[in-house]
Structure 1
Amino acid sequence: MRTRLDRIRHAILFEIFGLIAIMGAMSQLGFEVGHVGVMGVIFSVVATGWNYVYNIGFDKYMLRKMGTVTKTTLIRIVHSLGFEGGLLFLTIPFMAWFLNISLWDAFLLDMSMVIFYLFYAYGYNVAYDKIFPVPDITVPTITVQ
């Protein structure tokens, strides 16, 4: 499993690169860059905390159920869906209030961000694992005779 410092680096880099991309995209939709930046930083703080907690829980679950933390493509997809789903309900009401848009518009905007982050999270995690590989550990099995 990854160390605490590695998980912190993972989460911070994830948010920095994601925030830069989202600020650029939302400014092209007519939102003020500074306003979007503030919202993005708030979301990044929330998402960073969620990222840290979620990844620890996901890896512990994988280790307990599968005996390894090595992720296949399917597991990475499930991982990304779970992460983004967890953020969705936290961010919509705040986004509507902060950007002074309807809940429906916030939902649509948030869903577009979720779609972006689904692909981004998958690609980021694959790249991160290649740059900073995690050692393959397995849980020893006990055989009862």
Structure 2
Amino acid sequence: MITLSPLKRRLVYVTLFEVLGIVFATLVLMALSGSQAQESLPVAIIVSTAAVIWNFIYNTLFEAWESRSKITVRTLKIRVIHATGFEGGLFLFCLPVYMLWYGVGIGQALVMESALLLFFLVYTFVFTLLFDQIFALQHLSKK
């Protein structure tokens, strides 16, 4: 196992996650749109960049809301609200991107977004599982 400082670990995580995510999302978009990599790669990069930016903005706003609301524990209900809000915001951004870029209607754009949402659900789980096996958390690696 490789042990990194918390900051380095986060940077390695987000870099590997996004680079591999862009590659896989490009393949998914190619399959869904019938396009070539040179057409789907820019969309995957746009969506990935939007996700990173939205993640930062959304989490900042969400944590401020939690603080103002005096929420001290993230219950299942709070986690569902968090996940739904994040994905909903990203969904609202991505839908018109797919429609404009690929020249498809809302139905096809919904299929594309739904497929990518399901893909990233599985990808995030598998990636995090493997990442945690390779890059130890400092507080867990001292045992």
**Category of TM-score, reference length = shorter chain:** 0.5 to 0.7
Aligned-pair CA distance for 1:132: 2.1
TM-score by structure 2 length? 0.67
Q: Does 1:115 align with 2:123?
A: no
Is 1:128 matched up with 2:136? no
TM-score, normalised relative to structure 1: 0.66
Deviation, 1:28, is 3.3
What is the CA–CA distance in structure 1 between the aligned matches of 2:6 and 2:60, rounded to whole Å?
Answer: 10
Other-structure match for 2:107: 104
What's the RMSD between the two structures over aligned residues?
A: 3.5
- 1:10-89 matched pairs, under 5 angstroms: 10-29=13-32, 30-52=34-56, 64-65=72-73, 81-82=83-84, 83-89=86-92
Shift of 1:78: 5.5
Aligned-residue offset at 1:121 = 0.9
Aligned residues of 2:29 and 2:112 also touching (Cα < 8 A): no
**Letter aligned with residue 40 of structure 2:** V
Q: CA deviation at 1:128?
A: 1.9
Superposed CA offset, 1:12-59 (max 9, x none):
211111111122233234112111011111111112233456678889
Distance 1:86 1:132, change over 3 A: farther
DSSP-derived class of the 2:136 partner: coil
Show structure 1 runs of 5+ residues with no match.
67-73, 138-145
**For the structure 1 residues 27 and 19, does the alpha-carbon distance in structure 2 shift closer, same or farther, using more than 3 Å as the test?**
same
Q: Hey, which of these two has a bigger chunk of helix by percent?
A: 2
Aligned counterpart for 1:9 among listed residues 9, 12, 18: 12
Aligned residues: 126
